[in-house]
Structure 1
């Protein structure tokens, strides 16, 4: 009668959370309604015991976001990813060693934003994730991928000057890896081809053509081990021919170049 919560009420909430929490789902084959319920219950758990249930809430919110995306509920999926970011941010505030949770949540959110062509928001999310990965270790594979994806995001956003700068950072990490692992060659080729497109968009055709030539060589080396890259060799050569024609038109005084 003193207005405090009955002990049984708190224990009931946790009894609903814990059995679900003990089962890890990838979200691939779980109905969205189940993912919603799991997420809602874990939100209750995190309010009562944030350290214990925050990691599970992050996982549940990410799975909910994926499930909502697959069902075509784009706006709701974005909200679910934001919930994962918010939960992982609180988790990191509780324990600074949990930065990986936040970086992973930001990365997942950025891919969702990319699929919606919301590239400026994607770039902001990726920038925070990159800073977190850099704090953890300079050679983490997540950082290598994040730098590559961030440069693509700048390119897709039409922010070509920033894309060129981002590619310089991504290539600085990727080139040493490609020297010892051929699997990085195709990524290196892709990076140089993307940067060439941004350089061309800025009218820097000389630099762009150098990158395209290097991209052809990289794809050729990749194709020597994995023939599936042969079409990329031909496509990049065609890109070079088109870029050269554009550069010549740009230099033609009759075209205002």
Structure 2
């Protein structure tokens, strides 16, 4: 009994010491995001980067006893900037696709989010090549929505227009220069549909299902070879899921069913 108790105490002390040492390895973590994608990441009226992903990132930094330094970057510069060591992590609603995994690593999965079309209420559209043939569809460049549209729709008579950000796409949608936009549903709601310029528009058609591109989880990008940081971030995410923190943060931003949290972590 005494031997077992001693062994337990020794393991507990070792585990605590290891966790503390791991946390002390990181005093500052530079995280890049594209701050134009509410409610995930955006600028508040004071110019601060805020949102769902920002809260997740700040909680990870807190658990690693590190300071988060947030860097606003265009989405298509996130992976090149990560590879060039301009920052340590890329956390901007980035889907962990097979193509991206070839050039960067990803954290444990965070969530999966639905992708939907947005169009004028007087239209009746489905997210298929037949329904969209002859139309102009706006996407953000470098996203999985662009990849899906170019793979499934463009070869069949759909003109895919890529924008630096969805803000630009929504301007053209409201003015009639494109027929629909294709993005993650929560961004469409908070970034456009709840604003005056989006009053005549709505989510349209079914959620797009594309297991090869769109149904992979959102995760945090990590530079290949940075195993120490990846392992620490992974453990923080796993702990956040286990203790309910990730679910609590999610509930602050989304109605049930809009964002799906993974039931298990690798």
TM-score normalized by the length of structure 2 = 0.24
Ranked by relative contact order (alpha carbons within 8 Å, sequence separation 6 or more), the top structure is: 2
TM-score normalized with structure 1 length: 0.25
Structure with higher Rg: it is 1
More helix by share: 1
- Considering fraction of residues, name the structure with more strand: 2
